């Protein structure tokens, strides 16, 4: 099979990249599960936007401070300055961000933000955005989406990428040749026992990049979210209690129902404080109280979270809920420039699998949907501009025997990733 652009992953990064490519290019998006099963659909809190010029400095500083000043300042500036255009685009696709009675956009706040600058749709902002991108992609004749098609490896020869080896839903392996390949394969939570991510997100893009000597960066920068719902039940995925709950006033308590931290510190610090408190108290969780939030606001803004707590027997906000930190986000990844190009020609990486330096050592809340889409569009722009200079090579007759044992291949991928995380590559 031959396409112009192969996109691996159907989260907000992959879909938005496809939507920004010319309509005369033949685009194939493959996805390991169904489209609705991506972390983009799980995003609760919201998406940051530069409200007006007067907030630039404060937004920039909040992002840099949360990232321990290890961020790439050019990437941060690019992201912030592109945010208003992205929001216009999304509204054009039908995304419905919360508004006040006069129709003005409403903003909420999360930890480490010194201002309210986060757009939201109840507590299902990611679903609202990504489902509209998906609807738009389905309308385009030049975009084909294949569910349960898994990228096994990328095809790289003489420093150029020519597509990927893919396992189709019928279990057969196939070669997909492309002028450009875009890795939009999301995070690495699936390799951790406790994570808020979908289990099939196992950092495949990063692992195959390492196999082919494509540069990666800060692979050890893994974010642990301070507050996921603690459950005695064996759960597939840890349920996130969004930081915007704390942004709106929710408070953390120890086993003696005493506060022990400022709830609005950056994520990594709140996580450290919770872990230290759990160790001191000998407990498996701490408590979160949503009482300080007005009941009406709570029901209006966080229906999904309240529903989950009720399902588990907690009558919110009257009762506190047990929360515990869990793996959440991957700041490192495949090293890319501001156009999302990797160190391999004709290979791009966008979204959580890429590292353009926006997040530094610790991501500021609600910057990742924004970052994913801003830099996905930039990748599309560069591919469009340079398409005619690409080289295409038919590799359909390549030897597929190295992939005959996919269990072993995937196990090796996990080991490669864990080793890179250990070494801090
Ligand atoms: C619970 C939760 C809440 C969050 N809340 C927020 C928030 O409020 N605001 C915010 O900005 N960010 C939030 N985030 C982070 C944000 O959702 C993600 O960083 C972002 O959606 C990543 O988008 P993506 O397109 O890169 O990856 P994803 O949306 O995860 O998509 C990855 C895609 O790659 C596919 N894939 C993976 N491997 C392969 C393979 N080998 N072959 C084929 N396909 C493959 C997957 O099937 C999937 O389609 C949250 C994350 C979680 C988990």
Count Cα atoms within 13 angstroms, Cβ side, for 102.
Answer: 2
For the domain that residue 287 is a member of, what is the CATH number? 3.90.700.10
Residue 30's domain spans which residues? 2-221+331-423
Would you say the CB of residue 240 lies under 6 angstroms from ligand 1? yes
- Say whether both 103 and 142 belong to one domain: yes
User: In this predicted structure, what is the pLDDT of residue 425?
Assistant: 72
Mean pLDDT, the chain, whole residue set: 96
Would you say the CB of residue 79 lies under 6 angstroms from ligand 1? no
User: In this predicted structure, what is the pLDDT of residue 174?
Assistant: 97
- Say whether both 249 and 277 belong to one domain: yes
Distance CA 219, CA 223 (A): 11
User: In this predicted structure, what is the pLDDT of residue 110?
Assistant: 86
Residues 368-408 have pLDDT tens digits of 999 999 999 999 999 999 999 999 999 999 999 999 999 99
- Say whether both 300 and 340 belong to one domain: no
Give the number of the atom of ligand 1 that is nearest the alpha carbon of residue 35: 49
- Say whether both 310 and 379 belong to one domain: no
- Say whether both 180 and 235 belong to one domain: no
Residues 341-350 have pLDDT tens digits of 999 999 999 9
267 tagged catalytic: yes
Q: Which of 282, 309, 326 is the last residue of a domain?
A: 326
- Say whether both 295 and 381 belong to one domain: no
Cα 226 versus chain centre, distance: 17
- Say whether both 301 and 348 belong to one domain: no
Would you say the CB of residue 176 lies under 6 angstroms from ligand 1? no
Question: How many whole angstroms from 296 Cα to the centroid of ligand 1?
Answer: 30
- Say whether both 208 and 297 belong to one domain: no
At residue 279, φ and ψ (nearest 5 deg) are -65, -45
- Say whether both 116 and 24 belong to one domain: yes
Question: How many whole angstroms from 143 Cα to the centroid of ligand 1?
Answer: 20
Q: Are strands 333-335 and 118-119 parallel, antiparallel or unpaired?
A: unpaired
Residues 147-206 have pLDDT tens digits of 999 999 999 999 999 999 999 988 899 999 999 999 999 999 999 988 999 999 999 999
Give the number of the atom of ligand 1 that is nearest the alpha carbon of residue 352: 26
Domain count, the chain: 2
- Say whether both 413 and 374 belong to one domain: yes
For the domain that residue 169 is a member of, what is the CATH number? 3.50.50.60
Whole-structure pTM over 0.75, yes or no?
yes
Q: Which of 305, 326, 347 is the last residue of a domain?
A: 326
Which residues have CB under 8 Å from 284's CB, separation 6+? 230, 278, 322, 324
- Say whether both 136 and 244 belong to one domain: no
Please compute the mean of the pLDDT values over residues 233-257 and round it to a whole number.
92
Residues 230-244 have pLDDT tens digits of 988 877 899 999 988
- Say whether both 205 and 319 belong to one domain: no
């Amino acid at each position: 099979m031959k396409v112009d652009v192969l996109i691996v992953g159907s989260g907000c990064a992959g879909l938005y990249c496809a939507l920004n490519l010319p309509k005369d290019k033949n685009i194939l998006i493959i996805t390991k599960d169904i489209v609705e099963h991506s972390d983009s659909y799980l995003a609760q809190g919201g998406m940051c936007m530069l409200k007006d010029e007067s907030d630039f400095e404060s937004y920039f500083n909040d992002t840099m401070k949360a990232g321990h000043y290890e961020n790439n300042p050019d990437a941060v500036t690019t992201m912030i300055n592109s945010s208003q255009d992205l929001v216009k685009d999304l509204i054009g696709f039908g995304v419905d961000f919360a508004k006040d009675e006069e129709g003005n956009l409403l903003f909420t706040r999360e930890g480490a933000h010194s201002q309210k600058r986060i757009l939201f749709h109840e507590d299902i902002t990611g679903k609202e955005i990504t489902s509209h991108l998906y609807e738009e992609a389905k309308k385009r004749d030049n975009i084909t989406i294949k569910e349960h098609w898994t990228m096994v490896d990328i095809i790289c020869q003489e420093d150029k990428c020519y597509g990927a080896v893919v396992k189709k839903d019928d279990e057969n392996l196939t070669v997909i040749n492309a002028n450009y390949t875009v890795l939009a394969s999301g995070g690495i939570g699936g390799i951790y026992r406790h994570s808020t991510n979908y289990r099939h997100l196992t950092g495949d893009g990063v692992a195959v990049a390492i196999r082919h000597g494509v540069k990666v960066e800060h692979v050890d920068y893994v974010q642990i979210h301070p507050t996921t719902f603690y459950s005695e039940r064996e759960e597939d995925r840890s349920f996130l209690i969004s930081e915007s709950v704390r942004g709106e006033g929710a408070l953390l308590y120890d086993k003696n129902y005493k506060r022990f931290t400022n709830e609005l510190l950056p994520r990594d610090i709140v996580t450290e404080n919770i872990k230290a408190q759990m160790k001191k108290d000998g407990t498996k969780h701490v408590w979160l109280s949503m009482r300080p939030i007005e009941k009406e606001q709570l029901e209006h803004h966080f229906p999904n979270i309240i529903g989950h707590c009720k399902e588990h027997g907690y009558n919110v906000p009257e009762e506190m809920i047990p929360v515990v930190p869990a793996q959440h986000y991957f700041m490192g990844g495949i090293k890319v420039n501001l156009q999302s190009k990797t160190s391999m020609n004709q290979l791009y990486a966008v979204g959580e699998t890429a590292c353009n330096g926006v997040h530094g050592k610790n991501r500021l809340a609600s910057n990742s949907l924004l970052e994913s889409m801003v830099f996905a569009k930039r990748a599309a722009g560069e591919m469009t501009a340079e398409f005619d200079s690409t080289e295409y090579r038919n590799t359909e007759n390549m030897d597929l025997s190295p992939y005959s044992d996919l269990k072993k291949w995937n196990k090796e991928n996990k080991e490669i990733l864990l080793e890179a995380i250990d070494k801090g590559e």
